[in-house]
Structure 1
Amino acid sequence: MTATLSTQVSIAEALTAVAPEGLPFRFTAYDGSAAGPEDSPIHMHLATERGLSYVLTAPGDLGMVRAYVQGDLEIKGIHPGDPYGLMKMMLNHLHFQRPTPSEALRIVRGLGWSHLKPPPPPPQEHLPRWRRTFEGPRHSRGRDRAAIHHHYDVSNTFYEYILGPSMTYTCAVYPSVNATLEEAQAEKYDLVARKLDLKPGQRLLDVGCGWGGMVRHAAREYGVKALGVTLSAAQAEWAQAAIKRDGLEDLAEVRFSDYRDVSERDFDAISSIGLTEHIGVRNYPSYFGFLLDHLRPGGRLLNHTITRPDNRYRSTGAFIDRYIFPDGELIGSGRIIAEAQDAGFEVRHEENLREHYALTLAAWSENLVTHWDKAVAEVGYATAKVWGLYLAACRVGFERNNTQLHQVLAVKLDATANAHFPLRPTWGS
């Protein structure tokens, strides 16, 4: 270690002891200690003893998030709706070094043993995974319903502030860097439709349909009879109202339902846009098997999902699991392609839209900042801060290639192994 600790340890001294390369921002604490450059545009202040207890009892991002959400960790120089600059600064320039057991003991002893009693977590935090068993086994229908409710049933009005008129909570496709979010979301839906080769009179199933954006686009622009299903009651209610408003009742429907309860079969196409993250890697065989079983021979599947840059399984991290996507799981595109193939699909095309998701997240953050006062009034200051943190952190993750976004196009062969697919792609860019 580069720092020598006395019996009593100031908070800033303890922080710099585990960050030997220094802090890229100004840090102060309620005990009067300080560290980091005084002229930094970003100032982080640990205001309370409870905040210190959060940090000490939940090392890593979870403790800091708890303190920040509860107001015990204050950050000046950023807008709480878009702390992107801080996230980028911390990931690029802040490097923590795990202390040895003896050094950790000296730090905790110097700060005070009383701070090792965990304070209650913020009300925005979901239970840890091991305590969710009352909702059912992981990725059971009941537990999946509870996880979706935690994230998607926050408030339709709140989502309107962030997502904009399209109400689309998945990666957009930017035809150019100057395109608007609405233009990019329309291009995403149309790209999916073109890849699926939708035609008037066909039947589309959209699993995990959200607020029905793909369902309405397919019905309105392609004359397709589209069925969407979502586990969020709030999404289904909003989507059905939008379908009625657009005069699409004869072609489009959104149900509040588990996709596994869809009884109709022989769909011409299936789109899955942002659902696979919630399925669970172990459930991929049954998931892809269900989709294959519900397609007609020659029918196509477009699977659009967030992925890892490799195929090694690891958790999503405590912050994402507790505050954003309970029980969410990510894996690489290779595993997804392999599982689709093992289920019986022939994979015909795939592409990575990683940069597009970074642009999408930046646009959502901008929307949150623009509507900040209304968003806070709708869901509360703490929840709005969680969303600002989440969007900014995810944006950095896509920029740094910690996460990717892959579209995989697959087909169900007919009995003669005919894919009913052209010799070259027809959907353009």
Structure 2
Amino acid sequence: MRLAELFSRTLKADGQIEFVAYDGSRSGPADAEVRIEIRSPFALSYLASAPGELGLARAYVTGHLEVVGDLYRTFHLLGDIELGKLDAKTTLDLVGLLAKHRFWWPVSPPPHEARPKGWRHSKRRDAQAISHHYDVSNRFYEWVLGPSMAYTCAVYPTDDASLETAQFTKHDLVARKLGLTEGMRLLDVGCGWGGMVMHAAEHYGVKALGVTLSRSQAEWAQKAIVERGLQDLAEVRFMDYRDVPENGFDAISSIGLTEHIGGANLPSYFSSLYSKLRDGGRLLNHCITRPDDNFPFKAGGFITRYIFPDGELEGPGYLMSRMNDAGFEIRHSENLREHYAKTLGGWCANLEEHWDEAVEEVGLPKARIWRLYLAACQWGFDINNIQLHQILGVKLDGTNSHMPLRPNWEPPQA
């Protein structure tokens, strides 16, 4: 069987994608909106060495497999790629083809794959995992994220709002859920480039401390704090949240950190944050979640090796239970799944707009990793494979939550 036809059958393209292979074969409509090109035998060798998602990703990252057309649209056309669910004949044909390439064209994993060492979620290994993803290049992140340098789900006040407006709205929503007012003390764990820290200081007069395991983020944030004249109120440290010596904070924000903690460590994580708060203080936990906990979590090979080593997702119910067990009274939960799909669409557009600069800054393989990752995640939020929850908890002051009877998170009208 010719290669293009086998790929079309394997990926179940249903006549919506054109396939072109190095053996001269073609399959699918010539006017299809997406074309997949198998450019060399090495594409098959990568698939043979890691059948499924990881092998296909390696072939794409190295350029031996190319997608001509919108990558995000490609995911919608293909859906989940599960080679284990092929019919018997396709499986037999594919196994025979890949077996030959595994030995005729041997390959090693391409560069940029993460293999952190040490005990999972130890301080040392967490530092390696965070550095792998976040210490890419501050300039690269500026191009992808835009001026806000916010690398978490934005909140769109309207469907046509800009990414910058949506990121401002997200930070302001967190501030209002936490009840921030002038003179309060905020701890922002996993603070990234300091967006929440600077927002709280500038717009609410809060004395804010952020901590991150990325040295590049901390250096960028401290420079930005000085440039904006916020050094009397805002600070970002290169530090593990477990090593913060201060206590008695009025509020804690955790925006995009819980995914790196690990399910087994969530009880100690939330207990640690609980101990840092004064009585009546609030915690806002903002993180990627999965729709349910009906099956053990297993991250895909591409995400694990290239994007978030040791990353783990839990369902919102599990997170709320662990917060509750740590002593927090749960006061509010909100799913922002659609907002994250829009956020990722904005990042994808930014990357394409700055593609040449990004390639020059981080190299073509790394840029292709990010193109694949952002498009895949946008698709994942679209189809409800993954979600994003904000969960608000309060450390009771005796039995007093210090919460209004009917909270209103909407900003005051001008």
- Mark yes or no: TM-score above 0.5: yes
User: Helix, strand or coil: the match of 1:14?
Assistant: helix
Pair 52,114 (structure 1): closer, same or farther in 2 beyond 3 Å: closer
Corresponding position of 1:108: 95
CA distance in 1 between counterparts of 2:171 and 2:86 reads: 49
User: Helix, strand or coil: the match of 1:109?
Assistant: helix
Q: How far did 1:98 drift?
A: 3.0
Q: How far did 1:369 drift?
A: 1.1
Corresponding position of 2:29: 37
Pair 349,107 (structure 1): closer, same or farther in 2 beyond 3 Å: closer
Task: Output one character per residue of 1:95-118: Cα deviation in whole Å (capped at 9) or x when no partner.
Answer: 866347886455433565242565
1:77 partnered with 2:69 = yes
Corresponding position of 1:22: 14
Q: How far did 1:57 drift?
A: 2.0
1:87 partnered with 2:75 = yes
CA contact (8 A) 1:20 1:96 kept: no
Tell me whether 231-240 or 360-369 shows the greater mean CA deviation: 360-369
Corresponding position of 2:3: 11
Corresponding position of 2:370: 387
**Letter matched to residue 54 of structure 1:** Y
CA distance in 1 between counterparts of 2:98 and 2:197 reads: 56
Pair 21,276 (structure 1): closer, same or farther in 2 beyond 3 Å: closer
Unaligned runs of 5+ in 1: 1-8
User: Helix, strand or coil: the match of 1:204?
Assistant: strand
Match of 1:373 among 350, 356, 362: 356
Q: How far did 1:35 drift?
A: 1.7
CA contact (8 A) 1:10 1:111 kept: no
Q: How do residues 262-273 of structure 1 correspond to structure 2 at under 5 angstroms?
A: 262-273=244-255
CA distance in 1 between counterparts of 2:273 and 2:316 reads: 18
Tell me whether 110-119 or 262-271 shows the greater mean CA deviation: 110-119
Task: Output one character per residue of 1:172-229: Cα deviation in whole Å (capped at 9) or x when no partner.
Answer: 1111011111111111111110111111111000000000000000011111100000
User: Helix, strand or coil: the match of 2:371?
Assistant: helix
Corresponding position of 2:393: 410
Corresponding position of 2:108: 120
CA contact (8 A) 1:202 1:224 kept: yes
Corresponding position of 2:332: 349
User: Helix, strand or coil: the match of 2:186?
Assistant: strand
Q: TM-score, normalised by structure 1?
A: 0.91
CA contact (8 A) 1:279 1:329 kept: yes
1:335 partnered with 2:322 = no
Match of 2:128 among 133, 138, 146: 146
CA distance in 1 between counterparts of 2:18 and 2:399 reads: 64
CA contact (8 A) 2:44 2:101 kept: no
Q: How far did 1:124 drift?
A: 1.8
Pair 348,141 (structure 1): closer, same or farther in 2 beyond 3 Å: same
**Letter matched to residue 42 of structure 2:** R
Q: How far did 1:75 drift?
A: 2.1
Corresponding position of 1:5: none
Corresponding position of 1:65: 57
**Letter matched to residue 381 of structure 2:** F
Pair 90,299 (structure 1): closer, same or farther in 2 beyond 3 Å: same
Corresponding position of 1:180: 162
CA distance in 2 between counterparts of 1:19 and 1:388 reads: 20
Q: Which runs of 4+ in 1 moved over 6 A?
A: 100-103
**Letter matched to residue 149 of structure 2:** M
C-alpha RMSD of the superposition:
1.9
**Letter matched to residue 191 of structure 1:** L
Pair 210,266 (structure 1): closer, same or farther in 2 beyond 3 Å: same
Q: How far did 1:40 drift?
A: 1.0
